[in-house]
A and B are shown apart, each in its own frame.
Chain A
Amino acid sequence: MKQLMSFIRKEFYHILRDKPTMLILLGIPIIQIILFGYALTTEVKNTQVAVFVPTNDEATQRIVEKINASAYFDVVKYIHSSKEIQPTFNDAKAKLVVVFEDHFAQNLRRTGSAHVQLIADATDPNAATSFTFYASNIIASYQKELMAESKNPYQIIPEVKMLYNPQMIGAYNFVPGVLGMIMLLICAMMTSIAIVREKEMGTMEVLLVSPMKPIYTILSKITPYFVLSCVNFITIMLLSVYALKVPIAGSFLSLVVVSLLYIFVSLALGLLVSTLTSSQQAAMLISGMGLMIPVMLLSGMIFPIENMPIALQWFSKIIPARWYISAVKSIMIQGLGITSVLKEVSVLGFMSLVLVAISLKKFKVRLE
């Protein structure tokens, strides 16, 4: 026991004295949350809009007001002739121009239909699709209001309701993703590097020729990174709840249980990588290329798994992050209890058992 404690203390010295690495490890979750939360969002906010109203009437006024009131749009310019449309884009003053036809309200009243044109700057097609969609929705909502006022109230209007995330807030999707990625990065990559470093520095040789049990070596390598992961877990939780306003809808305890299980799987993965490699670079490459990239691309964090080809869907099943992210989404966003993520929990549990068994079996008591 004294052996183990002294070994763990030594590991903490290694980490605490390598200040740049420690800062990176503790800073990564903060930076990622802030990047994903504020910079790398797919939501389009404050799009600048120009409006061309040939005939100013009640209908056009209300639509423009509605557009301007939306968080997605700022009406920055009123233009007065169709010739001004093109220059408005060129000056980059607007991303979207809303063009009403002549006598808009009059046409609407007389014929029941009127035209409005949405001209978007499609340099960024994704953004253009998003904000034209938003604008169409706003116009549709006005149309709905008109119908409510009219004498025919029995019109059935298809209603789309976005469950759990009506505003399609990106944070709901990426907080579980970042959690899944950070845990893997800290646990798998850093643990494997820490073990391989001993091999590379030659200290493993000295440790092997001692009564130190291999399991102690493993435990003491794992402990500090376990602590670091817990710190990161708390950081991410605090940031997402207080900075990004993503509430924890379900039980926090279940979230902790699932996360601990996932940390365990990641640590076991790191251990496995360390038994397969003999240099820090190789360990970094394997955990970087072999673990990080599949997690980012195939865990459902960025691209929905449902859209992938069947082969990739199958492949994604062996990625622990996929199960973890899905469990976190259920608990944190949908507010479900631990019983509804039993499948995820048992898959992660099974994975951890297999990985620990393999890496213990592969852990060498000799140099080769």
Chain B
Amino acid sequence: MSRYQMDNENIKLDFAIKCESVSKNYKKNEALKDIKFDVNRGEIFGIIGPDGAGKTTLFRILTTLILADSGIALVDGFDVVNEYKEIRKRVGYMPGRFSLYQDLTVEENLNFFATVFNTTIEENYELIKDIYVQIEPFKNRRAGKLSGGMKQKLALCCALIHKPSVLFLDEPTTGVDPVSRKEFWGMLKKLKFSGITILVSTPYMDEASLCDRIALIQNGKFLKIDTPQNIVTQYENKLWAVQSSNMPKLLKDLRANYLTEKCFAFGDKHHVSIDNLQFTQEILRDYLLENGHTNIEISEIKPSVEDCFMQLSQS
């Protein structure tokens, strides 16, 4: 019984990743607490959370790099502890830090990783073609001399060269410019159509909507797992964006008001969450005028994933 699904229902085959109550401690720090989730085949699953939430630890457990203290994790039907060799043959992994050989050229890196996975560039060229043509003009340049976006594309090519069944991308867009980030997500969408399951982590909440399903993680705990749309529509309170000429004082005053349940700074506006239906924008405006605010602007807005994250992480 090497494969988990043999003694479980065939339904398990549908899951590219299955995690049951996985926990991990670093000395006294609880890095992961009772993580439980499934990733369907061919899905883009996002792990969304701030730095230090435990994203990388989770990725390393799933890619068989470290051992969990407790719990079971299966990748492509194989156990991460006992069958790690099988997993290593069939997954692609792109660590958060640029982890290619800086003193080798683009082509040498790609060739090296192709042979490491017992394949050739030609064999799976179709899969990486769209990405590789963009870096091909620089194929004789050393990887260390590439720009951030180029490095990312090369790393993705190297992780894809053996046509993995599951692709692990740990913060692939951190430190990459907005244009390259957008391009990168475009590439992930295409890969999804070639049947590759993608587990991707990111600290950028705006990227959450590009995933099929997301898990919000904080302090080693999953706050919620759902589609980005469901997470947003499940937001129960009213949400107002508030602006005035004195933003720091505004935040203080909004938080001091007992009727505004939550208030967070979001770029140039403050988002206020209201769970009291009697509370109107006029009441808030009067309250702020009393406190000496000028140029007050209040508008009702649709919640974003980030609003949901803030809401969930505080409760």
**Which residues of A does B touch, CB under 8 Å?**
2-3, 6-7, 10, 13-14, 17-18, 201-203, 205-212, 365-368
Q: How far is the CA of A207 from the CA of B113 in the complex (A)?
A: 9
In the complex formed, the residue of A with least CB distance to B91 is A209
A residues within 8 A CB of B104? 10, 13-14
| Interface contacts beyond A202-B95, A210-B116: sample of 13 additional A-B pairs, CB < 8 Å, sorted by A | A2-B115, A3-B116, A7-B116, A14-B104, A201-B101, A201-B102, A202-B99, A206-B99, A206-B158, A211-B85, A211-B89, A366-B65, A367-B60
A residues within 8 A CB of B67? 366, 368
Q: Is B108 an interface residue (CB 8 A)?
A: yes
Whether the pair B88, A211 counts as a contact (CB closer than 8 A) is yes
Q: Is B125 an interface residue (CB 8 A)?
A: no
Report the minimal beta-carbon distance from A246 to chain B, rounded to whole angstroms.
39
A residues within 8 A CB of B173? none
Report the minimal beta-carbon distance from A207 to chain B, rounded to whole angstroms.
7
Question: Which residue of A7, A18, A209, A368 is within 8 Å of B64 (Cβ)?
Answer: A209
Report the minimal beta-carbon distance from A208 to chain B, rounded to whole angstroms.
6
Q: How far is the CA of A212 from the CA of B84 in the complex (A)?
A: 12
Whether the pair B116, A211 counts as a contact (CB closer than 8 A) is yes
Q: Mark B70-114, 1 if CB is under 8 A from A, else 0.
A: 000000000000001100110101010111111110001001110
B residues within 8 A CB of A13? 103-104, 108
Whether the pair B93, A6 counts as a contact (CB closer than 8 A) is no
Q: How far is the CA of A155 from the CA of B98 in the complex (A)?
A: 85
In the complex formed, the residue of B with least CB distance to A4 is B115
In the complex formed, the residue of B with least CB distance to A368 is B66
Q: Which of B34-87 contact A (CB under 8 A)?
A: 60, 63-67, 84-85
7 smallest CB-CB distances across A and B, nearest first, come from A202-B99, A6-B115, A209-B93, A367-B65, A202-B97, A211-B89, A209-B63
Count of interface residues, chain B, beta-carbon cutoff 8 Å: 31
Most B CB contacts (10 A, CB to CB) among A6, A7, A206, A368 go to A206
Q: Is B118 an interface residue (CB 8 A)?
A: yes
11 A-B pairs, CB-CB below 8 angstroms? A6-B116, A7-B112, A14-B103, A17-B103, A202-B95, A205-B65, A206-B158, A209-B91, A210-B88, A211-B116, A366-B64
Q: How far is the CA of A201 from the CA of B108 in the complex (A)?
A: 17
A residues within 8 A CB of B84? 365-366
**Which residues of B does A touch, CB under 8 Å?**
60, 63-67, 84-85, 88-89, 91, 93, 95, 97-104, 108, 111-113, 115-118, 158-159
Interface contact tally, CB-CB below 8 A: 78
Whether the pair B101, A203 counts as a contact (CB closer than 8 A) is yes
Q: How far is the CA of A14 from the CA of B101 in the complex (A)?
A: 9
A residues within 8 A CB of B99? 201-203, 205-206
Report the minimal beta-carbon distance from B143 to chain A, rounded to whole angstroms.
11
A residues within 8 A CB of B66? 366-368
Whether the pair A3, B115 counts as a contact (CB closer than 8 A) is yes
Q: How far is the CA of A260 from the CA of B63 in the complex (A)?
A: 39
Q: How far is the CA of A14 from the CA of B112 in the complex (A)?
A: 13
B residues within 8 A CB of A212? 116
Report the minimal beta-carbon distance from A214 to chain B, rounded to whole angstroms.
11
B residues within 8 A CB of A365? 84
Whether the pair A205, B103 counts as a contact (CB closer than 8 A) is no
Q: How far is the CA of A7 from the CA of B89 in the complex (A)?
A: 17
In the complex formed, the residue of B with least CB distance to A205 is B95
Report the minimal beta-carbon distance from A203 to chain B, rounded to whole angstroms.
5
Q: How far is the CA of A209 from the CA of B84 in the complex (A)?
A: 9
Whether the pair B100, A203 counts as a contact (CB closer than 8 A) is yes
Q: How far is the CA of A294 from the CA of B99 in the complex (A)?
A: 36
Whether the pair B116, A207 counts as a contact (CB closer than 8 A) is yes
Q: How far is the CA of A3 from the CA of B113 in the complex (A)?
A: 9
In the complex formed, the residue of B with least CB distance to A213 is B85
In the complex formed, the residue of B with least CB distance to A206 is B99
Q: How far is the CA of A13 from the CA of B101 in the complex (A)?
A: 10
Report the minimal beta-carbon distance from A261 to chain B, rounded to whole angstroms.
32
**A211-B85, A211-B89, A367-B65 are known contacts. Are A6 and B112 too (CB-CB below 8 A)?**
yes
Q: How far is the CA of A2 from the CA of B118 in the complex (A)?
A: 8
A residues within 8 A CB of B118? 2-3, 211
Q: How far is the CA of A187 from the CA of B108 in the complex (A)?
A: 26
Whether the pair A10, B95 counts as a contact (CB closer than 8 A) is no
Report the minimal beta-carbon distance from B240 to chain A, rounded to whole angstroms.
44
Q: How far is the CA of A157 from the CA of B72 in the complex (A)?
A: 88
A residues within 8 A CB of B65? 205, 208-209, 366-367
